[in-house]
Structure 1
Amino acid sequence: MANGVWHTGYGIAINLSLPDLGHPGRPDLLREITASVAERDPQLLECLAHHDGRECASESGGKSPWMFIRRGRVGGRRPLVASHLPVTHRATPAESEQHKATKERIVETASRYGLEADAEVPTANRRSISDALVTGPGGIRIGWEIQYHHLSPSSVHRRSVNAVQNRVTPLWVAKDRTASLIDRAPWARVDDMPWKEIAGGREMVIRGGYRYLQTWKCAPSSPRICPVTDGAGHCEQLHSEWFLPALCHPEKKAVQLEDLVLSSATGDSVPVYVPNRGGGRAGRHMWVPAADCRLWQEMTGQTDPLPTAEPQEQDDEITFAEQEIDRTCRAGEEGRFVSDARPVRDLGQPTGGFTLARMPAQRIMSPLITPVERAAASAALGCPPWELGPCAECGQLMRRYGRDAAMFCSVCRAVLNGR
């Protein structure tokens, strides 16, 4: 990690390992160099090797010799580290035409369905502009953001929060599985195709970002492996997870861009945020059928589908090791987000697992089965709630009434037949 950088404005070398940065006469230097790149000249800080006329590994790799300052994390210490700026991507003519064609297709689709739609609409406070704003009959406003090149996660979050505060639901569109916007806000991924095919009406399938809730009883007859035992057996519990249409049982029809334009504006598709199982703030944003969302909320109590402003956190105290300045280019040692390829974010795996302890049993004294249990059992067994009833042997809910009804659940039938 680089502990030094050249300040092109002052013409000085800065030693980031010293409390005074090697310049005691400049008390505001730390604040100046740690300011956001958006608030200063991007070429203010330069790789020392590049300034000295030696090889800058970042520049020779087709990237940037210019730098920014961040807090590192090394063995519990928080040193200041100079890292190379990624090259700011400028849309190529082809990408610009892709963007324009997608925007126009969204507006034209909405208009064809009788929805109000406009392009390049600023928010009320004019802090951001939606590529396309679609308004549904109930007043739902969807702000479509077509983002076919890299945008920082913080920018995605900031613009999404601004949209929500202006009563607009953001919907980001990507074409790359590594796009930083994935899971930073409600999103959808489409294929990377020539703009003429987009404008010409070629099918635009939503490849990622739209899912269905699948609820099933974990039994030998289930087509799915047990997420608790990782396929080693069946736990007889109720599981729920979100799946892509192609991975559902039975398989769901693929969602087209036109489908999402209409259903998001009418409220038939809604955004959902599913925290990771391990807790914390990380999780998954997705679009889902409204009915699936209601069931999920009943089971989990999750009610925050959209990005909100995060509380301000105090930065850790900076650690100064007081070392000699290192004038070697350290590109490639600065962390994944600077030098390595961006990770694949749209993995397509099932997510948001939720498990009820067991298929609920009918209580002897009174029907105390909760609405959540009844809804989950209904979804898992594929029957309406009024066809549910207790197994005559173990008391667990099963399909007791209506077509294909039985007196005993499959587990009890197997035991009784083996007697």
Structure 2
Amino acid sequence: MEHGITPLWVTKDRTASLIDRAPWARVDDMPWKDIADGKEMAIRGGYRHLEVWKCVASSERHCLVSEGAGHCGAIHADWFVPALCLPEKKPVFIEDLVLRSATGENVPVYVPGRIGGRAGRHMWVSAADRALWEEIGDEKTPLPAAPVEEGDDVITFDEQEIDRTCRAGEDGRFAGADRPLRDLDQPTGGLTFPRLPVRRSGDPARVTPVERAAASAALGCPPWELGSCADCGRLMRRYGWDAAMYCNVCRSVLNGR
């Protein structure tokens, strides 16, 4: 990491201690013959997609503020594993992640814990998702220089002699003491904001596909009706039937004058 190289730890165990302490990925426990034959290894944990939605009654996702008890009308953003995305996304293969991490298409993100419990989450995401996350959250959280110690880890001791026998190549499953699951599939890092943030650049040509899709979902209009507010540059419903040149905030200010 001192030389600008990002590590990628791969595990097959959902209780591995390296999970969320460094950029990681979990794959299935495949027989070595399948790996030697070139079978692709799908990532089951450690890779997520950012989804943004408007919290209304018609939304397929529940409210992050009321925990599903109602709808706040705000805009939510959260990270989901591919299987829990709407619509469901295809899994990413470990070979593709290695290649895309070298080309910069996939990047690591560290999301600090906001509500007690875990200290934070490491995850691999697309570069476009990270750019959108940093813009809507107005934050850039670098990877921690050292693993963050967590208070919820428990050291166990079963009062048995250490088994020093190498079992590589043997059939069967061999496990030590029980450890808590660290690879959890729940959404993580949720943010809630009252409206879409002001873009740092008012140039419509620099709107990424991810930003356009997020704004389309939040505003409830087709992507081709999106445009920039004539005053502040915020993405809004600029074209189509009954559209406007100014967003609601700017229009209120102008009307007040």
TM-score by length of 1: 0.44
Query: How far apart are residue 302 of structure 1 and its match?
Result: 3.4
Per-residue CA deviation, residues 266-318 of structure 1 (Å, 9 max, x unaligned), is 1000000001112798100000010000011112243234231489xxxxxxx
Note if 1:254 corresponds to 2:91. Answer: yes
* CA distance 1:205–1:337, shift in 2 (3 Å): same
2:227 and 2:58 mapped to 1: Cα distance? 19
Q: Match for 1:351 among 179, 182, 188?
A: 188
Counterpart-to-counterpart distance in 1, 2:182 and 2:47: 14
Kept in 2, the 8 Å contact 1:271–1:305? The answer is no
Mapped to 2, the partners of 1:342 and 1:234 lie a distance apart of 37
Give the corresponding residue for 1:273: 110
- Aligned partner of residue 207 in structure 1, secondary structure: strand
* Higher RCO (C-alpha under 8 Å, 6+ residues apart): 2
Task: Provide the secondary structure at the position in 2 that maps to 1:239.
Answer: strand
Number of residue pairs aligned between Structure 1 and Structure 2: 206
Tell me if structure 2 keeps the 8 A contact 1:399–1:406: no
How many angstroms does 1:386 deviate by? Answer: 6.8
Q: Could you tell me how far 1:398 is from its partner in structure 2? A: 5.2
Structure 2 residue ranges without an equivalent (≥5): 158-176, 203-210, 245-257
1:387 Cα deviation from its structure 2 partner:
1.2
Query: Are the equivalent residues in 2 in contact too, given 1:174–1:188 (CA < 8 A)?
Result: yes
User: Compared with structure 1, are the counterparts of its residues 294 and 389 closer, same or farther at alpha carbon in structure 2 (3 Å cutoff)?
Assistant: closer
The aligned residue for residue 53 of structure 1 is none
Structure 1 residue identity aligned to 2:195: M
**2:251 alignment partner in structure 1:** none
Matches within 5 A, 1:159-170: 164-170=1-7
Larger radius of gyration: 1
The alignment status of 1:338 with 2:156, answered yes or no, reads: yes
Shift of 1:167: 1.9
Alpha-carbon distance, 1:215 to partner: 0.4
Aligned twin of 1:377: 215
Letter in 1 for 2:130: C
1:365-409 Cα shifts (integer Å, max 9, x gaps): xxxx6117x95635634755971478xxxxx9753425xx5559x
Aligned Cα root-mean-square deviation (Å): 3.1
* Sequence identity percentage: 60
Which deviations, in whole Å up to 9, do the C-alpha atoms of 1:20-46 show, x marking residues without a partner? xxxxxxxxxxxxxxxxxxxxxxxxxxx
Listed one character per residue, the Cα deviations across residues 40-66 of structure 1 (whole Å, up to 9, x for unaligned) are xxxxxxxxxxxxxxxxxxxxxxxxxxx
Instruction: Tell me the equivalent position of 1:173.
Output: 10
- In structure 2, relative to structure 1, the CA distance for the partners of 1:235 and 1:344 (3 Å cut) is same
Whole-Å separation in 2 of the counterparts to 1:188 and 1:247: 17
Q: CA deviation at 1:349?
A: 0.7
Shift of 1:199: 1.3
**Kept in 2: contact 1:215–1:380 (CA 8 A):** yes
Distance 1:216 1:401 in 2: 21
**How far did 1:252 drift?**
1.3
Unaligned runs of 5+ in 1: 1-163, 312-334, 361-368, 391-395, 409-419
Q: Which AA in structure 2 matches 1:234?
A: H
Among 216, 230, 241, the residue aligned to 2:67: 230
Q: TM-score, normalised by structure 2?
A: 0.70
CA distance in 2, matches of 1:345, 1:280: 12
1:387 corresponding residue in structure 2: 226
The 1:222–1:310 alpha-carbon spacing in structure 2 relative to 1, beyond 3 Å, is closer
Aligned to 1:293, the other structure's residue is in SS state: helix
- Write the distance in 2 (CA, Å) between the matches of 1:215 and 1:352: 12
